[in-house]
Every structure is written in C-alpha cells, then in structure tokens.
Chain A
Amino acid sequence: MNDMVKLEKVVKVYGHGATEVQALRGVDLALEAGEFTVVMGPSGSGKTTLLNIIGSLDRPTRGRVLIDGEDTTRLSASSLSRLRLTRIGFVFQAYNLIPVLTAYENAEYVLMLQGRRPDERREKIMGLLRTVGLEGMENRFPRELSGGQQQRVAIARAIASEPELVLADEPTANLDSGTAASLLDLMAQLNEEKGATFLFSTHDPQVMRRARRTIVLHDGEIAADRHGPAGDE
C-alpha cells in the first residue's frame, strides 16, 4: 500500500538555549492509507506535537513530512491551508468550535469552504448530527452544549468532508463511554468504508482497544511500534 503519511528524521525543538526543549527527536514514521492507529505515551512525550506536524499545523525544525508523497515542509501557508481543507480532518482535545456559529454551521463550515452545494451540505450534516446524537440541537450555539456534545460537533466537523486523513487529539477525553463508543463506531465505519486513515493520540483504553496499530512515544522518540491494539501488549 502507499504511504499516506511519511516522516523522515523529524526533529522539533521549542525555545532556545537554556529553555530549549526537544519535543521530537528524529522521528521516522510511515502510515499507510487506511490505517487506524493510536499514538500513546506519557504527558510531554510529543504526541500532540507529532499530530500537529503531520497535520501541517506546525513545521518541523528538521526533517521532512510527506503527505501522500508531497513534502509539506516546502509548502506555503496558503498551500498548507488548502491541504488541510481538502485532505485532513482534525479533532481537538479542547473542541475548538467557532463560538458564533451554531452546531450545524460549525459542522457545515468545511463543506462550505470546499464549495459544496447547499442541499448536499444540508443532507450530509443533518445525517451526521443524527449519527452523533445531536438531532434537534442543530441550532444551538457551542455555549448551549455540554462538553461531550461540543466534542460530537467537533467530530462531525472533522469527518463531514470525508478526509483521507483524520488526526484526533484525545477525542474521547470529555465523553461518556457510551457516546465515545458510538463515535468510535462512526470513525471505524468511515475508516472501513472510505479507507480514511485515522491517527489518534489518546489515553483512553476504549480507543486503544480498537487500534490496529499502536505507536508508543517516549521523550520525543518512538519507543514501540507494533500492529494490533495496545491491549495485545
């Protein structure tokens, strides 16, 4: 299979001199299209930095990042925006919904940026909100939703455009187990039916159990990389 994501000796350094911190230390990693992978590791091990660099939200200090063969470290800011818009979906631990848009509008936003037709957008988003259990709450603003409901909107937004790569940073951290399970089912379905590649950063055993590949990060280095869920360890 083709490598959807490829990292070559990626180093990320924050700060200078005495305050310098190496968040990633020469990471080599390849994710094939259609993988359902979990990154785990203790706090400060570099999980979020790894996801940010793969998702082109951050640039590595050294090394190369290739998305479907394209070196993202050489792309301009607007090209990276385009890449994120068309190929990558994000789920953030802090939801990061747009406060002045309703649940429906938040989920619709990416489709609108992609220039999809209004009727297509409506059908897609209403179906997704029904799937994530937010039917009837389309017109609520984020402040009118609980943390779990906001995360469900964030997940709906991330997968609405059926991206080739979904990066999810602790996506179930604020959800009850039932909701988390239904959302994971949804993402697994997207992975199986559409071949979308998923990369999770998580501490949630429920997510770890579903992973088909587990990467363990420790002090910015890959300490373990094995196929199969973390529970098989």
Chain B
Amino acid sequence: MIVRLAWRSLWRYRRRTSITVSAIAVGTALAVFFVTMADGMYKKLIDEAVRMGAGYVTVEHPDYSRDLSIGLVVTGISSVIDEARRIPGVTGIKVLIQGQAVISTAGGSAGVGIFGIDPETERTVSPLADRIVDGRYLEGADERGVIVGASLAERLKLRPGKKLVLTTNDANGELVNEMLRVTGIFRMGMEEADGFLVQVPLDTARRIFGIGPDAATRVGLVLASPRDQSRVLEDLRRRLAGTEAAVLPWQAVMPDLAGFMAVDKGFNYVFQMIIMVIIGFTILNTILMSVLERTREFATLMAIGTSPLRLRLQVAVESLFLGATGTVLGLLLGGALSWYFQVHGIDFSGIYSDDTTIVGYAIDPLIKNHVTAGAFLLVGAFVLALTLVIGLYPSWRAARISLPDVLRSR
C-alpha cells in the first residue's frame, strides 16, 4: 500500500512530477555525457602517451626514474618478456633504449632524446608510426636509419635521405659518434616530440650506447584495456619478485600527465557537483511542496493509525520513485547521446587548434566519448543517493504536523 500511495501521489500532480523527473533526467544525462566525454578524452590522451612511451605498465631499473642514466638498465629482459606474455590482457611488449644526445648537421646542432625501438612492434602499438609526414617509418633493416620530428627537421634543415651525426656518451661513459640517415619525418602536434625526439632501431641504439642484447632501459606493456592495469601490474610484480627490476604504472613513469589528470578530474567533479546541487534543489522543492500541500492527507493517515515511521517511509518512497524514474530516463538519454558521440565524435577544431597540448601531450580536436558501465553506475548511484538524502527532510516534515489543527480546517 505504501508503494501504491507513493506512486499515485506523485502522479496526482502530473505537471510538477513531470517537470521534476525531466530535470533529474536532463541533469543525469548531462552528467553521463560529460563524464563519458572526459573519459574519452583521458583515454585517448593516455592511450597515445603510453603507446608512444613506455606502456601502461613499465619495467625499469629501480633507480632509473631518479637518475635517467643510460647505465641504469634492466637485464635479463628476455625472461621479463616471457613472463609478461603469459599475463592475460597484454597485447604488446615494447623494448626501449632511451638516452640523450646531440645531433649535428650542416644546418646546426640540437640536443635530442633518443628512443631505440623495435620498428615492427612500434608499428602495431605506437601512434607515431602513423604520423610520418615525409619519407617513411623505420624498418628493421635500417641499420643507420633515424626518424626525426618536424620541428627539429625544420631547425636543422633535415629531410629524408639527409645525414646527421649523433654524439653521446655510452653506458661506460665513453664519447661516441654515429652517422645516421633520415628515413622519415613525423609530426605528433606537440613540441616535446616534434622538436626533441628521434627514433632509431633498437639494435642501432644498442650499438651506440653499448648495451647488451638482453638489456634495455625500459620494457613497456601495452594492454587491451586500461582497466587491466592494476591486475597486470600486480601479476608482473609477483612474477618478477626477487629480480632487480621495478614494475611501475604509467602514472609513476609520466607523473606530469597523471597529475594533470587528477587536477582535471577534480575540476570535472566540481562541475558535476554543481549540476547535482541544482538537481537536488529541484527535487527538494518538489517533494517539500508536495508534503506541505498534503498535510491534511498525512494528518488523516496518522489519525487512522499510520505510524510516523510508516508515513516517513511513504514520502521516502516517493523520493525514490522520483529519483529512480528520472535517473533511468537520464541514463537512457545520456547513454544514447554518449554512444552517438562515441561513434561520431565531437569536433572541437573550431575551439582549439591541431597542435594544442596538455602537459606536452597532443590532444586530438575530435573527441570521442568513452561509454563504460562504470560511468553509468557512478552517475546513477550518485543521483539516486542524492534523491534519497534530499528526501529525508520532507519525510521528516511529513510526520511533524499538528493533527487537530489540520483536521479541523476545511
């Protein structure tokens, strides 16, 4: 009977209930849309950054993050790779040799970051291989091949086929020079890559830095889904326990990007909270109005034996119905919107240019939402909980009425 009374009481005032349900639905839909849009942006940003860098999970020397020295390498990487391959969800394994160098051409010289990579693996996991704007990407046979960023190429007047001299210190601290030939020029849209990064084949990097075949600066694991990160991380840590290798999440390897994500998510949550507060006041207003207008009804129910607790429960159930109806409609609406923009994306090129970056990482102006069950659960549970909490005050008010005063009035 409580359910029947609550449901019918809500729909007795159709217009007011409809407006409130619509407000909850629109607020919920907006929240779902913005959460999935932010998730989509973060996902793409993180995915490109980790694929270009050292994966979602990285194995490196325990001191490497502090020192970034070419001498701090992980040894026995073949067994690391074997262990990593056994973990479900790992779709790619990158072996990286990273160092610093100076490159010189007839046009000048510049300090660069060198990435020694396996071209075949890189083609399958990294976005960089698809961003060649002149020439071609590296191949395994390119013993002296190098690709450079567009800004760097412009500064040093480089183009495919041109030679450059790379000077650096090897793992033993000896000065080494290596002549390389440009095979291609890439443009990632971020100065940190386009003006600083060069890639060479892994074996070339080993030769330059004097690093053995079973060692590397980093081994990066690319995953089928970012959600697998914690599980893979823990699994690999267990498997590599006792070896001199640190197993780190991408957040530890790229703390600037992780920090930005945390701050941006915080702002995003504040924005969501503002929407929720507006929804909350709408719900409070509706339920409170409904309670204040129905004092005679509540007084009658109490006069004929309804306990205060039962009456409060009835008003709480009304709040629940209001919230649940609005939330379900909002999730459907927000889900449909998010799904549409997950497929088609939203083009923000009119707002920001192609080379806009976030803490050095390029963002694609075409942002696609990323729909997950987690976003729906988070928003749905929050709106429903908010509705129930807000419904507490009106339900408390409902049972605090003067029966004789109300029943006497006509």
On A, residues with C-beta under 8 Å from B are 48-49, 52, 55, 57-58, 77-78, 81-82, 84-86, 90, 92-94, 96-101, 105, 109-110, 112-114, 157
Contacts and interface: CB of A to CB of B under 8 A. Distances in A.
A77 B5 contact: no
Given A57-B303, A110-B305, A113-B306, A98 B297 contact: yes
B343 interface: no
A57 B297 contact: no
Contacts of A93: 410
A202 B368 CA distance: 74
A97 B294 CA distance: 12
A109 B303 CA distance: 12
12 contacts: A77-B308, A78-B307, A78-B309, A84-B304, A92-B303, A94-B409, A94-B410, A96-B300, A97-B300, A98-B300, A113-B306, A114-B305
B201 to A, nearest CB: 78
Interface string B387-410: 000000000000100011001111
Contacts of A100: 5, 8-9, 12
A48 B408 contact: yes
B407 A92 contact: yes
Contacts of B12: 99-100
Given A48-B408, A90-B303, A93-B410, 19 more contacts: A48-B404, A52-B407, A77-B399, A81-B307, A82-B305, A84-B304, A85-B305, A85-B306, A92-B407, A94-B407, A96-B296, A98-B300, A100-B5, A100-B8, A100-B12, A101-B5, A105-B4, A109-B1, A113-B305
B408 A81 contact: no
A77 B299 CA distance: 13
B13 to A, nearest CB: 10
Contacts of A48: 404, 408
A105 B3 CA distance: 13
Given A96-B300, A101-B5, A112-B1, A52 B403 contact: yes
Interface in B361-398: none
A118 B269 CA distance: 50
B109 to A, nearest CB: 84
Q: Of B303, B308, B309, B409, which is in contact with the most chain A CB atoms at under 10 Å from its CB? A: B303
Nearest to A85: B305
Contact of B404 (A57, A78, A81, A99): A57
A57 B403 contact: yes
Given A99-B297, A101-B5, A101-B8, A57 B304 contact: no
Interface string B295-319: 0110111111111111000000000
A85 B302 CA distance: 9
Contacts of B309: 78
Sort chain B's interface into a size bin: 20 to 34
A22 to B, nearest CB: 15
A124 B383 CA distance: 44
B309 to A, nearest CB: 7
A114 B305 CA distance: 9
B8 A90 contact: no
A52 B306 contact: no
Nearest to B8: A100
A85 B305 CA distance: 4
A52 B408 CA distance: 10
A57 B401 CA distance: 11
Nearest to A90: B303
A62 B5 CA distance: 37
Q: Of B296, B302, B307, B404, which is in contact with the most chain A CB atoms at under 10 Å from its CB? A: B404
Given A98-B5, A98-B297, A109 B404 contact: no
A97 B407 CA distance: 11
B300 A49 contact: no
Contacts of A81: 302, 305-308
Contacts of B306: 81, 85, 113
Interface in B345-360: none
Contacts of B408: 48
Contacts of A109: 1, 304
A49 B308 contact: no
Contacts of B409: 94
Contacts of A82: 305, 307
Contacts of A114: 305
Contact of A58 (B8, B300, B308, B403): B403
